[in-house]
Structure 1
Amino acid sequence: MQVYENILAPVDGSKATEAVLDTAIQVAKRNETRLDILNVLEINQFADGYGGAVSGDVIYKMVDDIESQLREYQKKAQDAGVKDVEIHVRFGNPKTVISNEFPRDHKNGLIVIGTTGMNAVERLVVGSVTSYVTRSAVSDVLIVK
């Protein structure tokens, strides 16, 4: 069986998040390694909803809410027996951050990712993050349905 060092679980609050987290917890426990739980914010996606500009207060509140949710995920992983769990919020393109930048910086050997966090129309327009990660990742990828 493949042994992985440092598991990355990118989460976005979609329906797939719980399944991704549960699988990543199992893999991290089995490998006795660190679990990095990551949320990537792409500011452009929020600017459209706020008339083209996003104030610092809106971003601060958004990050605060996300960090609160990530702390809940962290506690869940710790309660399940994962000893080393770190949470991260990053700004940028989710495709490149998840597939390359973050795993290189944190030496993640495996990315556990959900099938999608977007609806069908969004996937057609911008492409699936999961598809991109599968093709471009510097690490192995485990897709959770």
Structure 2
Amino acid sequence: MTMLYKKILVAVDGSKEAELAFRKSVGIAARNQADLYLTSIIDNRSFGTIESYGREFAEESKRQAESLLSEYKNKAVEAGATEVHIVIEMGSPKTLIPVDLVRRFNIDLIICGATGTNSAERIFMGSVSERIVRAAKCDVLIVRTEEKEA
């Protein structure tokens, strides 16, 4: 039996691992004719401690995320994904990705890289990928390898 996914969320943060997850998600979305939700979560938990600098940093982070996701959206459409949505949120990726966004968009598959850009946080508090696996009520694909050509 083959599982068909209709709403796929891929978490990207600019890391090499997220790039691998993005590429694999495009292939899966195209094969399943699924909606693809490209998401980037700007972790703003530390912004309050640097108030004056925090707003500028948050705005620049959002601009960078918009640029990255726009580029990814174009690549996804060129590769055959038909419905591609961009989702940029501020908050904790450990809650927003596996719980809030899954519920809001009725996601049935989350795809993310094995590690992301915040290695210091991973050492002390666990990785976002690990949290997604534990908290999500849908299937999760953790990507470690390149997308193979069919």
TM over 0.5: yes
Q: Hey, what does 2:3 align to over in structure 1?
A: 2
The structural deviation recorded for 1:34 is 0.5
What corresponds to 2:61 in structure 1?
Answer: 62
The alpha carbon displacement at 1:55 in A equals 4.2
* Structure 1 residue matching 2:50: 3-state secondary structure: coil
Equivalent in the alignment of 1:36: 37
Contact persistence 2:30–2:81 (CA under 8 A): yes
Corresponding residue SS for 1:100? helix
Identity %: 33
Which letter does structure 2 place at the counterpart of 1:52?
I
1:91-106 equivalences in 2 (<5 Å): 91-106=90-105
2:25 is matched with which residue? 24
For residues 1-145 of structure 1, the aligned pairs below 5 Å read 1-45=2-46, 47=47, 52-53=50-51, 54-117=53-116, 118-119=118-119, 121-145=120-144
Number of residues paired by the alignment?
A: 141
RMSD of the alignment, in Å? Answer: 1.5
Deviations 1:47-72 (A, max 9, x none): 38xx6224433322221121011100
Question: What amino acid sits opposite 1:16 in the alignment?
Answer: E
5+ residue gaps in structure 1?
none
Equivalent pair of 1:104/1:138 in contact (CA under 8 Å): no
CA distance in 2, matches of 1:96, 1:65: 22
| Per-residue deviation, 1:96 | 0.9
TM-score, structure 1 as length reference: 0.90
Distance 1:18 1:55, change over 3 A: closer
Dislocated runs of 4+, deviation >4 Å: none
Distance of aligned partners of 1:55 and 1:134 in 2 relative to their CA distance in 1, 3 Å threshold: closer
Gaps in structure 2 of 5+ consecutive residues: 145-150
For 2:128 and 2:61, locate their aligned partners in 1 and report how far apart those are by CA, in whole Å. Answer: 21
CA distance in structure 1 between the partners assigned to 2:17 and 2:57 by the alignment? 26
